[in-house]
Amino acid sequence: MTTKKKQNILITGASSGIGEALARHYAITEKAANLFISGRDPKRLESVQKACERYNVKVYAKILDVTDKEATKNWIQECEDIAPLNIVYANAGVATLQEIPENIYNTFNTNVFGVLNTIIPAMEIYKNRKDKNKTLVIMSSIAGYHGLPSCPSYSASKACVKAYGEALRSDLKPYNIQVNVVCPGFVKSRITDKNTCPMPFFMSAENAAKIIADRVENNVGLIAFPWPMRLATWLMSILPNCLSDFIYAKLPHKV
């Protein structure tokens, strides 16, 4: 049995939630040679770094706000210079909570422009490399399947990056760049810790990370789970507005 070559993996938003769980997963399974992780909270990021370094992996941690275009671009190039990147996770994201102007702008700045600030520099680096071991992973959400009245800005921002990633998958194929879009349901994180609405099929970040990493390895284009939520949100997305409006009006809302 052949052992797959270890990867050099970059993950934004790695100080908590799915990002942290992905970093730990790649460290524990020893599938990473080098881990490049970023986040905005120094203490949490340092904790993740130390936890991952217990395994056979080199971890480089960076305090970073992905809404800073130049800083993100420079960091990604620094990581590439240390070790050629194989998987780049554009994972950093925020929840809107109250739909007030400041929060709405922050949601789009992080969930859309933060993704672009990560993906575009990595994509340009990949295009200039001739190897085939190049993957971009965009973190969307089940909420991105249809505009949700309980979280308009969040669902819209996730719908945007979902569509962008799906389009990139074919667009970048001639460059041997693999693109995967991830649409998780409710996963334990600092975002869901603040939720006041029902969260069906709630799962741990560790379980979600394993699903994501395994399906990225198998090059599943759209990684959406759990399947009952994927089916339900897909059905809502194809219903006439009069029916979807009626159903949403009957669902519990945030308090």
User: Catalytic site residues?
Assistant: 154
| Residue 111 to residue 143: CA distance in whole angstroms | 13
Describe the strand order of the beta sheet including 178-184 as a list of residue ranges.
Answer: 58-63, 32-39, 7-11, 87-90, 135-139, 178-184, 222-225
Side-chain half-sphere CA neighbours of 200 within 13 A? 12
Closest CA to 183 of 206, 215, 217, 135: 215
Which pair of structure tokens corresponds to residue 189? 């994180």
H-helix segments, the chain:
17-28, 42-53, 69-82, 101-108, 114-127, 152-171, 205-217, 227-238, 241-250
Is the distance from CB of 6 to CB of 31 less than 8 angstroms? yes
Q: Are 233 and 142 in contact (CB under 8 A)?
A: yes
**Which residues partner with 60 through β-bridges?**
36
Q: Are 206 and 222 in contact (CB under 8 A)?
A: no
